[in-house]
Amino acid sequence: MAEKRVRIGIVGAHWALSGHAPAWRMLPGAEVVAICTAHRETAEAAANRSGIGKAYWDYREMIADPEIDLVDLGANPAVRYSMAVQALEAGKHVHDAVPFAVDLPQARHLRDLQRARGLVGLVDSQLIWTPAFRRMKELIAAGTLGEFYHATLNIQTPLSRHGGFAYPYAAWSNNDSSHLWLGDKSSGGSAWRNYGAHALITLGHLFGEIEEIVGRTETYLKTWNLPDGSSVIPQTDDFGAALVRFKNGGLATIRTSWCTPDAEVVHLEAVGSRARMVLRDHSLGRDPFVPLFVGEANATILPETTGGFVPLPPHLYEVPGVAVGSDNAPRVIFPFLAMFDHALRAIATCGEATPSFNDALMAQRGVEGLYVSAASRTWVRLTELG
């Protein structure tokens, strides 16, 4: 008898539909059965365009649907919180973006509710599911880095390119205003909140718990000039810089920005007593073929290294039940494919997803800690934030 599929309901007709839905659909254990947007006409159009059976324009009705097992949320943080709470209370598993809450109490409530209900909570931090990052983690765990000294993680993009907004959460179309929530302080988003949450989850996954943080944020781009000739005065920061100290004694610098011209996007560097590792990714985790560089103090550590670049083993491109590999891994959606497959296994075994709601709570603590640090001009111990 065939194993029952996890039935997915998606909220949002932008990235959740174009990026997440194709990945869910490739997995034999999942089925996308519903789409929800704020208006009937857009919901029905999205369902027809994507071949999805059910269209909703009230997320509460979709959450109440007994034929939906997991809700995939695509909306701004302030809106997602109530959606996630209602989904968990209805017994649904939840896939949410980061930052997945507006503040620390909301983040803690989501984590505690998810655990109390025995459900899977997955957050959308795709960087840790790229093959190059996973290989970096494997090598660090094997001792290749040696004693960990320090790391650097920059996540930077331009806000606009070729007359349109280029930030990944923004609309790619010049006539779409769905990106404007990024400048709204009440939305729960900002360059530091969004990219900083990704950075903190990524570094925590590599090096463990973060104890302290110091830094500040800025708003450099004072006016957003829109393609239609209008303009917006943003209320949110577009730059954040932090220094963090891990429980193991290592340090890391973080720089986040969505106002950087010609941005590299992701630069991750880890330095230890035996080696230095560098990962550069211009796709924000959407290119499965990004290389990993390792420079060693002792050249015999990694004899397979060629010119400093480390081969990525085939197993990092394998997803059980899906015909993908190192020669045909789909760009854009591959990290989501691997992450969603892991989530389905967590659902089947009543385990935790990776990244989990607890990972997102730890990141939220760091996000809020930086704002406290900027206001007080001091180091902030994250455990003191509650």
For residue 222, give both structure tokens.
Answer: 């004072």
141-145, 166-170, 322-326: segment of lowest average pLDDT:
166-170
> Which of 72, 115, 11 lies closest to 356 in space, CA to CA?
115
> Which of 130, 144, 134, 131 lies closest to 295 in space, CA to CA?
144
Residue 173 predicted with pLDDT over 60:
no
> Which of 41, 33, 79 lies closest to 60 in space, CA to CA?
79
> Which of 156, 162, 165 lies closest to 232 in space, CA to CA?
165
For residue 286, give both structure tokens.
Answer: 């959407």
Query: Over pLDDT 90: what percentage of the chain?
Result: 75
For residue 54, give both structure tokens.
Answer: 């059910």
Q: What is the mean pLDDT of the chain?
A: 91
Per DSSP, the residues of 271-323 read: EESSEEEEEEETTSS--TT--EEEEESSTTS-TT-BTTEEPPPGGGG-BTTB-
- At 242, is the pLDDT very low, low, confident or very high (cuts 50, 70, 90)? very high
On whether the CB atoms of residues 96 and 197 are closer than 8 A, the answer is no
On whether the CB atoms of residues 336 and 23 are closer than 8 A, the answer is yes
Which ranges in the chain are annotated with CATH 3.40.50.720?
6-126
> Under CATH, what is the fold of the domain 127-324+364-375?
Dihydrodipicolinate Reductase; domain 2 (3.30.360)
Residue 177 predicted with pLDDT over 70:
no
- Give the pLDDT of residue 301: 65
- At 174, is the pLDDT very low, low, confident or very high (cuts 50, 70, 90)? very low
Phi, psi of 364 (to 5 degrees): -60, -35
User: 24-70: per-residue pLDDT in tens?
Assistant: 999 999 999 999 999 999 999 999 999 999 999 999 999 999 999 99
Mean pLDDT of 184-193: 91
At the fourth CATH level, the homologous superfamily of domain 6-126 is NAD(P)-binding Rossmann-like Domain (3.40.50.720)
Give the whole-angstrom CA distance, residue 71 versus residue 36.
10
**SS3 state of residue 216:** strand
For residue 351, give both structure tokens.
Answer: 């385990």
- At 102, is the pLDDT very low, low, confident or very high (cuts 50, 70, 90)? very high
